[in-house]
């Protein structure tokens, strides 16, 4: 693992704090699409079960070797990892809407946007993710990947 990779900014989610208000999704869809629509958010919060005993969050981790990038068939690739920031970004001008990335990602982060005929995904709001900034409870936070790894529970 390279040093830059460990210093990259990532999101972490604390299920202990999350109240399931879904405001992160609303903030995300508003920032990217100017709509308050949960379907248009690039991150997801799900109830763990019908009893709402907890919530689960799925957000882009901006992987070191992104599988979405590998799956992208265009040349040059529509999905690239920014060498400086480490964010994995879709270039909407190059995307052909084949949905390969949608299926390749193990947590289905890239989503197909029907009106535009292309896929899109979290771009970390260019370094200032609105989901974490506006999170109602402080359950979502921005930390470096090194710090995030320290919060992982021991196996």
Residues at the site binding another protein, with contacts judged by CB under 8 A? 17, 19-23, 26-27, 30-31, 33-38, 51-52, 92-93, 115-116, 130, 134-139
**What is the rounded CA–CA span in Å between residue 43 and residue 59?**
5
Q: Which is nearer to another protein, 71 or 90 (CB)?
A: 90
Instruction: State the nearest-atom distance from the C-beta of 25 to another protein, in Å.
Output: 8
HEC string for the chain = CCHHHHHCEEEEECCCCCCCCCHHHHHHHHHHHCCCCHHHCCCEEEECCCCCCCEEEECCCCCCCCHHHHHCCCCCCCEEECCCCCCEEECCCCCCCCCHHHHHCCCCCCEEECCCCEEECCCHHHHCCHHHHCCCCCCEEEEEHHHHHHCCCCC
Work out how close the CB of 33 gets to another protein at its nearest, in angstroms, rounded to a whole number: 7
- Looking at beta carbons only, is 4 or 128 nearer to another protein? 128
Beta-bridge mates of residue 45: 57
Which CB, 13 or 61, lies closer to another protein? 13
Q: How far is the CB of 1 from another protein (least distance, A)?
A: 31
From the CB of 135, what's the least distance to another protein, in Å?
8
Name which of 5 and 31 has its Cβ closer to another protein.
Answer: 31
Nearer to another protein, 3 or 115 (CB): 115
Report in angstroms how near the CB of residue 43 gets to another protein at its nearest: 14
Other beta carbons within 10 Å of 33? 17
């Amino acid at each position: 693992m390279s040093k830059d990779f460990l210093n990259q900014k990532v999101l972490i989610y604390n299920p202990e704090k999350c109240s399931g208000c879904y405001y992160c999704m609303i903030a995300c869809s508003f920032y990217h699409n100017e709509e308050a629509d949960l379907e248009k958010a690039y991150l997801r919060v799900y109830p763990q079960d019908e009893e709402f005993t907890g919530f689960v969050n799925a957000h882009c981790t901006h992987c070191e070797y992104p599988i979405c990038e590998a799956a992208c068939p265009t040349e040059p690739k529509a999905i690239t990892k920014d060498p400086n920031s480490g964010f994995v970004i879709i270039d909407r001008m190059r995307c052909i809407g084949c949905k390969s990335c949608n299926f390749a990602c193990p947590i289905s982060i890239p989503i197909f946007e029907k009106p535009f005929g292309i896929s899109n995904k979290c771009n970390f709001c260019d370094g200032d993710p609105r989901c974490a900034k506006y999170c109602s409870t402080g359950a979502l936070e921005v930390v470096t990947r090194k710090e995030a790894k320290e919060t992982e529970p021991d196996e």
